[in-house]
Chains A and B, each alone.
Chain A
Amino acid sequence: MKDVLYLAWRYLAHHRIKTAILVISITLIVYLPAGLNVLVNRSAAQLTARANRTPLLLGAQGSSLELVLNSLYFESDAPELLSWAEAQRVADSGLAEAIPLYVRFRARGQPIVGTSLGYFDFRGLELAAGRSMAILGECVVGAATAEKLGVGPGDSVVSSPESVFDLAGAYPLKMRVAGVLAPSYSPDDEAVFVDVKTAWVIEGLVHGHQDLAAPEAASAVLDRQGDTITANASVVQYNEISEENIDSFHFHGDLSGYPLTAVLAVPESDKSGVILMGRYEGEQEPIQIVRPIAVMDDLLDTVFTVHGFVVAALGLVGVATVAVAGLVFLLSLRLRRREIETMIKIGGSRAAVGSLLVSEMAAVLVLGTLLAGGLTLLTSRFGAVAIQTFLLG
């Protein structure tokens, strides 16, 4: 048997190019559908894992997909806004913990996620350096953001204006980095986390300025009637929060009307979740409550339909390639007729010659299949990174 295998090996080694072409063909036939399948499954797992861990999401009526993509992946534009009162409504219901989300602003391209400390516990995020945000104007950055922006505890990150043409818009806020999160291999790695109140500072709803009752602010005062002071736009507002000026920061208007992009509701039990969902069922209800996994499943159904067509097409191509490979083997047998006759004449039995030819074909098939298996394994291993890099940006 060893002799037969040795002769088969020598034959394949001698016809390197033909062997390489056959092996590559077999590899691709096996790998393309298998690899695509693995990639799509990993993509689905990546997208749904986070959605799966997010029980309920409240947002204003509108696109549920936009709401989920913005709240879970910090992608897409900000959805329709809802008010802080909705977060209070969830908390007051006693059915679920309410985690506010205000994902609207960016800092050098990285999403600024306004939320509460409960978010870190909920996502199981841990600090790699520094501490959590403690006061207005502090932020905690994800691992990838810290690397991209080259920042660590004690450094600063500046929020970006929403539009370069919005001259009267919110001032950029210089935020102090209080801590850096350990990698979580999720969109949280890309975020700049701030307290939701700091996000409101960026928007200008919470702000600090010079004391209008002080003599040095006299030039900014338009009118003073009794206890009411009216100031003009020249009043000096702070764009960095420090220990010296933090006491001057205050809230404009009614806090319950302050904006959020979503409220992440973490019910105490499945039953609580169902009851909570029932409270937002009315047709006139301005708030929608969604299960992110259901929204992502709808999205993935579309992806899987396309995926099915692609796999079917690849299957057909595979059948054609196998047929061509078979033809190559049959033609090569015809070309090797004299070689086969010579082997028989010098004493080789028909069985031995048959074994030799089968061994050659088997070796090509096994080699091609092993290579395809290796590539599929690599796709499985690095698929998540590839998806993060190319699909989720």
Chain B
Amino acid sequence: MTNSLFQVLSCAFVVGCCLVACAGPKEGAPGDETPEAQASAFAAAPLTVYTVNYPLAYFAERIGGERVEAVLPAPPDVDPANWSPDPDTVAAYQGADLILLNGAGYAKWVARSSLPESRLIDTSAPFREELLPLEGVATHTHGPGGEHVHAGWAFTTWLDPALAKEHARAVAAALAGASPADAALFADRLAGLEADLESLDRRLTAARQTLADRPILFSRPVYQYLIRRYGLNARSVHWEPGEMPGEEMWRELEGILEHHPARLMIWEGEPLPDLAERLEALGIASIVFDPCANTPADGDLMSVMERNSVSLEGAAGPGSS
């Protein structure tokens, strides 16, 4: 009897253990990885940094070196400001260690996407007070929400080398925050980048002094920060380098020239030969100042800006009209 009772109790105990063991997983049970193991794995791999434009990718690469893998998924033939990634590309952004935003409303797709707030870095946040508002943009009203504006800020901030330095510092701070062990390395590399940007600033300042107050035209209103930085006497039109403007646009230009007798038009890209010739006939020379928002076909941001400054110096120098 004792044996039988013992067997019954043993069976009950075993059944109980099985039932407890079979109980479902508890809520919120995360993976078994310890923070130390995660930190170790994190330290071994380079930081994956997704950006919304090329200048930020360049800054991340320059500052991070081998410790950073900078990714700009926008195709090379589009303006990243107007590009919208597909959901799978947004999912790739979600997986990044850091997502560098230009701020100032650049890349409107960001506001329509689900991105991890803790990894979003607005690199223009430190100089938000210095952003320039866009002008002449339509507002609309319907329903009880009242009037609202779809405009915002001018966003080609990196064309001002001083603001570009602010961007770079924000990038360096974000990288150091994500990988504190490499903070000293990032600081060293940032210093090199800042020196290059200061050198660019000096060259552009010299070109500006040669230009003096000569009126100039920009083919599109994306150079606001360059204009402000160097106090250029400039007006902007909405012309595309690859499209011949209609007659109405030419008349509009003639109207502008009456009050703003520019002899130089600055383009984002090389204008069509016919377009350049017709401008030439009006006494307006064309040069290219590439904002370099997307990955350049050759060189990098600094070499493109170098070419831009050479173009500007050439246009401003003796012999130019």
Number of interface residues of A (CB under 8 A): 62
Report A-chain residues with C-beta under 8 Å of the C-beta of B87.
Answer: 131, 134-135, 138, 178
A373–B136 touching, CB < 8 Å = no
- Assuming A2-B1, A229-B141, is B116 touching A247 (CB within 8 A)? no
Q: Tell me which residues from 129 to 157 in chain B have a Cβ below 8 Å from any Cβ of chain A.
A: 136-143, 145-148, 150
A238 within 8 A of B: no
B94 within 8 A of A: yes
A366 within 8 A of B: yes
A247 to B16 CA separation, bound complex (whole angstroms): 59
A188 to B27 CA separation, bound complex (whole angstroms): 9
Whose C-beta in chain B lies nearest to the C-beta of A373?
B12
B20 within 8 A of A: yes
User: Which of B59-67, B106-114, B163-171, B297-305 touches A?
Assistant: B106-114
B28–A123 touching, CB < 8 Å = yes
B139–A116 touching, CB < 8 Å = no
Whose C-beta in chain A lies nearest to the C-beta of B5?
A366
- Cross-chain contact of A186 among B28, B86, B88, B91 (Cβ < 8 A): B28
Report B-chain residues with C-beta under 8 Å of the C-beta of A5.
Answer: 1
A253 within 8 A of B: yes
B19–A381 touching, CB < 8 Å = yes
A295 within 8 A of B: no
Report A-chain residues with C-beta under 8 Å of the C-beta of B138.
Answer: 212-213, 227-229
B112–A185 touching, CB < 8 Å = no
A124 to B26 CA separation, bound complex (whole angstroms): 11
B318 within 8 A of A: no
- Cross-chain contact of B142 among A2, A136, A233 (Cβ < 8 A): A233
Nearest-neighbour CB distance to chain B for A205, whole angstroms, equals: 7
B29 within 8 A of A: yes
- Assuming A117-B115, A132-B114, A195-B114, is B140 touching A253 (CB within 8 A)? no
- Assuming A123-B28, A132-B94, A230-B140, is B116 touching A116 (CB within 8 A)? yes
B141–A230 touching, CB < 8 Å = yes
B276 within 8 A of A: no
Report B-chain residues with C-beta under 8 Å of the C-beta of A2.
Answer: 1
A42 to B12 CA separation, bound complex (whole angstroms): 21
B19–A53 touching, CB < 8 Å = no
B26–A134 touching, CB < 8 Å = no
A342 to B140 CA separation, bound complex (whole angstroms): 107
A279 to B8 CA separation, bound complex (whole angstroms): 61
B112–A253 touching, CB < 8 Å = no
A213 to B148 CA separation, bound complex (whole angstroms): 14
Whose C-beta in chain A lies nearest to the C-beta of B8?
A370
A16 within 8 A of B: no
* A-B interface pairs (CB < 8 A), number: 135
A5 to B2 CA separation, bound complex (whole angstroms): 11
A91 to B240 CA separation, bound complex (whole angstroms): 42
Q: Tell me which residues from 157 to 216 in chain A have a Cβ below 8 Å from any Cβ of chain B.
A: 178, 183-186, 188, 195, 197, 204-205, 209, 212-213
A123 to B28 CA separation, bound complex (whole angstroms): 5
A229–B139 touching, CB < 8 Å = yes
- Assuming A138-B87, A227-B138, A231-B140, is B27 touching A246 (CB within 8 A)? no
Q: Tell me which residues from 25 to 41 in chain B have a Cβ below 8 Å from any Cβ of chain A.
A: 25-30
B274 within 8 A of A: no
Whose C-beta in chain A lies nearest to the C-beta of B113?
A135
Nearest-neighbour CB distance to chain B for A256, whole angstroms, equals: 14
Proximity string of chain A (227-254) to chain B, C-beta cutoff 8 Å, 1 when within and 0 when not? 1111111010000000100110111110
Nearest-neighbour CB distance to chain B for A163, whole angstroms, equals: 17
Whose C-beta in chain A lies nearest to the C-beta of B4?
A5
- Cross-chain contact of A185 among B26, B90, B140, B150 (Cβ < 8 A): B26
Nearest-neighbour CB distance to chain B for A119, whole angstroms, equals: 11
A286 within 8 A of B: no
A253 to B140 CA separation, bound complex (whole angstroms): 11
Report A-chain residues with C-beta under 8 Å of the C-beta of B19.
Answer: 377-378, 380-381
A354 within 8 A of B: no
A185–B111 touching, CB < 8 Å = no
A307 within 8 A of B: no
A306 to B263 CA separation, bound complex (whole angstroms): 90
- Cross-chain contact of A134 among B8, B12, B22, B90 (Cβ < 8 A): B90
B48 within 8 A of A: no
Nearest-neighbour CB distance to chain A for B33, whole angstroms, equals: 12
Looking at A131, A186, A243, the one whose CB has the most chain B CB atoms below 10 A away is A131
B114–A91 touching, CB < 8 Å = no
A133 to B87 CA separation, bound complex (whole angstroms): 8
- Cross-chain contact of B117 among A91, A138, A229, A249 (Cβ < 8 A): A91
Report A-chain residues with C-beta under 8 Å of the C-beta of B25.
Answer: 185
A209 to B28 CA separation, bound complex (whole angstroms): 40
Proximity string of chain A (356-393) to chain B, C-beta cutoff 8 Å, 1 when within and 0 when not? 00010000001000100110011011001000000000
- Assuming A231-B141, A253-B146, is B117 touching A116 (CB within 8 A)? yes
- Cross-chain contact of A227 among B16, B23, B139 (Cβ < 8 A): B139
Report A-chain residues with C-beta under 8 Å of the C-beta of B27.
Answer: 49-50, 53, 123, 184-186, 188
Q: List 15 A-B contacts (CB under 8 A).
A: A5-B1, A49-B27, A50-B28, A53-B28, A91-B117, A116-B114, A123-B27, A185-B24, A212-B138, A213-B138, A229-B140, A229-B141, A231-B142, A250-B148, A366-B5
| Besides the known contacts A132-B94, A247-B108, A249-B112, 10 further A-B residue pairs in the complex with CB atoms under 8 A apart | A53-B28, A116-B116, A117-B116, A117-B117, A138-B114, A178-B87, A230-B142, A253-B146, A377-B15, A384-B24
Report B's interface with A, CB cutoff 8 A. Answer: 1, 5, 8, 12, 15-16, 19-20, 22-30, 84, 86-88, 90-91, 94, 108, 111-118, 136-143, 145-148, 150
Report A's interface with B, CB cutoff 8 A. Answer: 1-2, 5, 49-50, 53, 91, 97-98, 116-118, 121, 123-124, 131-136, 138, 178, 183-186, 188, 195, 197, 204-205, 209, 212-213, 220, 227-233, 235, 243, 246-247, 249-253, 359, 366, 370, 373-374, 377-378, 380-381, 384
